[in-house]
């Protein structure tokens, strides 16, 4: 049943009422916070994960009208079926948040540990996956009349830092892809990105040394929460005259 037109708050209270938002990699962390933020604004949210099926389904059950869709975005067929499944279920797609990603912690000086298989796995999810879902979504985003994409990049894509060199390079590609797509898809579709620094998520729960460094060095003296990042994603989605931007969400750490 399509819940995207269900009665709800006024448009002023719910600016995304009637819109369908797909958030990839949304069973936890930034993705889950983003799903909650859009749902609170009246959107119908499609939750996705490659694994973590129970967590993804549980999140969808919490959000009005939401659905869960299992798919590995690094697989071209699954990426296409993900988008088509959302449109088949809800009748439209207005916002795509490309949040699905992966990493492997490897010290930058340990070149031997960052072998080709590590590069391929990270690039397949972070870069190729983002591309494949976006390409599949473009016809539907264009037909919606208000379509847009928000990618989740990283401070590591903008500065020489990050959990590994392959990860940092993958996020640099996502940032530049964002700018290139914004130029190619306008005026029909806006494309922006957020580039978080360290975020407190299940991924980073044991990154104590990095957390101490960020807390000491960043002007805001703390690491980000998933809600901090979700709020900027949501803000970009509401900003009708912004496209091609990669917004740092790092508490000012890049200033150091």
pLDDT, tens digit (0-9, with 9 covering 90-100), for 37-70: 999 999 999 999 999 999 999 999 999 999 999 9
Q: What is the mean pLDDT of residues 221-239?
A: 96
pLDDT of amino acid 5: 43
**E strand or H helix at 46:** strand 44-49
pLDDT of amino acid 8: 44
- Give the pTM: 0.92
User: Which residues participate in catalysis according to the annotation?
Assistant: 167
Give Cβ neighbours of residue 3 (< 8 Å, ≥ 6 apart): 44, 64, 65, 90
> Is residue 248 pLDDT above 90, yes or no?
yes
- Residue-wise pLDDT tens digits, 163-222: 999 999 999 999 999 999 999 999 999 999 999 999 988 778 888 888 888 899 889 999
Confidence band for 13, pLDDT divided at 50, 70 and 90: confident
Q: Which of 151, 108, 106, 101 is nearest to 123 (CA)?
A: 101
Domains of the chain from N-terminus onward: 20-255 (3.40.50.720)
66-72 contacts at long range (C-beta below 8 A, 24 or more positions apart):
66/35, 66/39, 69/22, 72/129
In the 8-state DSSP scheme, what is residue 124? I
Instruction: Evaluate whether 29 touches 37 at the Cβ level (below 8 Å).
Output: no
């Amino acid at each position: 049943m399509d819940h995207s037109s269900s009665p709800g708050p006024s448009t002023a209270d719910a600016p995304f009422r009637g819109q369908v938002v797909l958030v990839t990699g949304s069973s936890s962390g930034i993705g889950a916070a983003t799903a909650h933020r859009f749902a609170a604004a009246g959107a119908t949210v499609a939750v996705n994960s490659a694994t973590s099926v129970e967590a993804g389904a549980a999140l969808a059950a919490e959000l009005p009208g939401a659905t869960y869709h299992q798919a590995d975005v690094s697989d071209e067929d699954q990426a296409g079926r993900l988008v088509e499944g959302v449109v088949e279920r809800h009748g439209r797609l207005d916002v795509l948040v490309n949040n699905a990603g992966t990493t492997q912690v490897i010290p930058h000086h340990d070149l031997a540990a960052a072998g080709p298989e590590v590069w391929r796995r990270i690039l397949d999810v972070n870069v190729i996956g983002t591309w494949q879902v976006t390409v599949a979504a473009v016809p539907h985003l264009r037909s919606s009349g208000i379509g847009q994409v928000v990618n989740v990049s990283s401070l590591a894509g903008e500065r020489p830092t990050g959990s590994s060199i392959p990860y940092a390079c993958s996020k640099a590609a996502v940032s530049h892809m964002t700018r290139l797509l914004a130029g190619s898809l306008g005026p029909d579709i806006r494309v922006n990105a957020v580039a978080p620094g360290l975020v407190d998520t299940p991924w980073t729960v044991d990154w104590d040394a990095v957390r101490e460094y960020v807390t000491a060095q960043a002007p805001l003296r703390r690491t980000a929460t998933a809600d901090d990042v979700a709020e900027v994603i949501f803000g970009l989605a509401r900003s009708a005259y912004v496209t091609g931007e990669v917004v740092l969400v790092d508490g000012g750490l890049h200033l150091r």
